[in-house]
Amino acid sequence: MRTNSSESDSSFIGTARRVQITQATIEVLAAEGYTGTTMAVIAGRLGVSKGILSYHFASKAELLQAVVRFVLSEAGEWMEQRMHGAASFRGALHSYISANLSYLDSHRTEIRALTEVLANARATEGVPELFAASQAQAVHALEALFDGGRRAGEFGDVPSRILAVSLRATIDSTSESLRSDPAFDLSEFERELLQLFDRAAGQYDQITLEGASHE
């Protein structure tokens, strides 16, 4: 089978094995950190030999790429399923924030693994590109949402880019709080975040009305 970087894998067993290995790697990354994630440890968790990893993945770099792809696409699906059918742009913004935070909350292992890989990405070929693309796309999607809202008269005059960048940064930083602060109250945080971006993005008069209703 000898995989080389990007092949369309026709073997069912092969694909299943690759997924198995990828998931085991995610677990190891989350549990042991990047440094602790050696081929031997991954193989040990699966109860197989090291050789098998090399058989299914041409290199460790490729395995880590698979991890990044797996988590990114899983997160993408999660968001997609929870974003359709909002009546307004403001509603869509609320859905976005809510969906994203719930993903972070319910997929801590994956997020942790992704963070570990990304942090050590520069050395691992292919990974930084993968992540940069995902990041850019996420920001652009949000920019489009804010732009749409402004054109529809729902949102005010704070530039969409800074709104998008700031929202993404804030959400991304949440996973660290979730991990390290046991007392972190996610639903309270979500309420505050909605309030902040309602205010930041919203029209002045809407602010008055909505802001009041939140207290």
Per CB under 7 A, residues contacting DNA are 1, 11, 13-14, 17, 35-41, 47-56, 58-61
> Whats the size of the chain, residue-wise?
215
CB of 152 to its own copies, least distance (A): 19
The answer to whether 1 and 55 are in contact (CB under 8 A) is yes
The answer to whether 9 and 17 are in contact (CB under 8 A) is no
From DNA, its own copies, none, interface partner of 182 (C-beta below 5 to 8 A by class): none
Nearest to 116 by CA among 177, 71, 53: 71
Residue type, position 200, single letter = A
- Residues 6 or more apart whose CB falls under 8 angstroms from that of 23 comprise 70
Q: Decide: is 153 part of the binding site for its own copies (CB under 8 A).
A: no
The tokens 């046991």 sit on which residue?
182
CB of 94 to its own copies, least distance (A): 15
Choosing from 94, 166, 186, 210, the residue that interacts with its own copies (CB under 8 A) is 166
From its own copies, DNA, none, interface partner of 102 (C-beta below 5 to 8 A by class): none
Angle (nearest 5°) at CA 19 between 18 and 20: 90
CB of 14 to its own copies, least distance (A): 14
- Touching its own copies, residues 66-95 (CB under 8 A): none
From its own copies, DNA, none, interface partner of 59 (C-beta below 5 to 8 A by class): DNA
Task: Quote the distance between the C-alpha of residue 209 and its chain's center.
Answer: 33
The answer to whether 149 and 87 are in contact (CB under 8 A) is no
Site for its own copies, rule CB under 8 A: 2, 33-36, 40, 116, 118-120, 122-123, 132, 156-159, 161-163, 165-166, 168-170, 172-173, 177, 180, 189, 192-193, 195-196, 199-200, 204, 207-208, 211, 215
